[in-house]
Amino acid sequence: MSLSDDVNLYEFEENYRAAEKVSQKHLESANVAKLTAQALELAEAKNLLLPDAESLLERCVIALLGGHIVLQGPPGTGKTTLAYVLAETFNATAHLETATADWSTYDVIGGLHPTSKGGMETLVPWLGHVPRAALDCATVISRQADPEESESHQAHWLIIDEFSRAEIDKAIGPLYTVLGGGGDDVPLPLWFGDSEETNAVWLPKRFRIIATMNTVDTNYVYTFSQGLSRRFQFVYVGVPQKDQLVAELEQARISAAKWYKDTYGGDEFKAEAFVADPKVAHATSILIDLLSTLRYGDEATGRPGWPLGTAQVVDVYRQLALRLPTAPSEETALIAALDLALADRVIPQAGNLTKVQLDATETWLQTKPLPRTQDALQHLRMASSTGY
């Protein structure tokens, strides 16, 4: 009997325990080299420039072959985009949920949801993010096994953005045991289930959670217990390396040009012309100097770097794209626009920098024609020192 003969594609909606029938199917391939190569191709297609990309993606592939993963690193380094790339690499669909400080076991596992029926208030079961995604995964596996369904994917995964914004150790509830592994498989109990068919759900072995975690905003996040950390593999996603700067900024210009063309440009906007424009190139030279001076720190003095992500650079180029059509022809015409973009998009990201890092930023700015950016930094420093 085939899997499709034994499983009703829609019975998971009413019978969560039925997911056990497909839960034992493992991921289709453990070919690390092939999966890594595919991930590299997908990352490049999305203009995602990663430090030591092949090694980083190989680590992610190996982590996902073994279980769940947390992508950690500074903001703007492409962690969320990478999460989708990894899901696509494994031929899995995925959907994203963003963690908040209000998350509880209700959000992660589920509970009783108030509703009104016939004018009467009542409580009905509500599935949390993890069991709902697990059932979606079971459905995909069932459809793939049925030749009449033409399902090309092998699984469905859950991406949790800003993982550490929630107090996950509390919110994860009984999932803590299920994710532990190592022993006999157990279903995830659902205390709120109103029947034997809905009081537990099996997490398919093909199911994965990919979480992302910002390691910079430590004042606004929770920490994890060692026990919870053991249930995920942590992979650091940093800023591109110094020798990747030219390629990084080229990719950033391409991304910004595509955004402008898709959003406002129409047929008259030529993305290639924006990428190669001399005025944009002059602004790029200043950005390269900024990143090479401030991002990577100073080994001689022990000053740590400011890990500005590529996403912030793309934001700057987007503002340049908006101002380019009305800019004069001289090469320096976009410097005022660059000044405003740095003041409005980059300096606000400096709130967590140390005094040594802020001093280095101020020293660099004093050599550049960027008065608005200098003013923005002074305002930030004044606000930090006075509390206003």
Question: How far out from the chain centre does Cα 20 lie?
Answer: 30
pLDDT at 388: 47
Token pair, residue 206, equals: 């093909």
Q: How many domains does the chain have?
A: 2
Identify residue 279 by its one-letter amino acid code: K
The rounded distance, in Å, linking the Cα atoms of 60 and 50 is 12
Say yes or no: 47 and 153 in one domain. Answer: yes
Per residue in 212-268, pLDDT (tens digit) is 998 876 555 667 788 888 889 999 999 999 999 999 999 999 999 999 999 997 777
Token pair, residue 236, equals: 């650091």
Say yes or no: 25 and 69 in one domain. Answer: yes
Q: Identify whether the C-beta of residue 357 lies closer than 8 Å to the C-beta of residue 306.
A: yes
Q: What is the DSSP letter of 264?
A: I
Range of the domain at 348: 242-386
Token pair, residue 308, equals: 């500005």
Contacts of 65 (CB under 8 A, 6+ apart): 27, 30, 32
Say yes or no: 160 and 143 in one domain. Answer: yes
Say yes or no: 266 and 225 in one domain. Answer: no
Say yes or no: 160 and 249 in one domain. Answer: no
- pLDDT under 70: residue ranges of the chain: 1-11, 181-184, 217-222, 385-388
Q: How many CA atoms lie within 13 A of 320 on its CB side?
A: 34
Nearest to 334 by CA among 298, 270, 286, 269: 286
pLDDT at 186: 84
Say yes or no: 102 and 187 in one domain. Answer: yes
Say yes or no: 308 and 198 in one domain. Answer: no
Say yes or no: 31 and 103 in one domain. Answer: yes
pLDDT at 386: 61
Q: What is the CATH number of the domain that holds 165?
A: 3.40.50.300
Say yes or no: 268 and 357 in one domain. Answer: yes
Say yes or no: 135 and 164 in one domain. Answer: yes
User: pTM for the whole thing?
Assistant: 0.89
Say yes or no: 86 and 221 in one domain. Answer: yes
Say yes or no: 200 and 257 in one domain. Answer: no
pLDDT at 183: 52
Cβ atoms within 10 Å of 364's Cβ, excluding its own: 15
What's the N-to-C CA distance of the chain in angstroms?
70
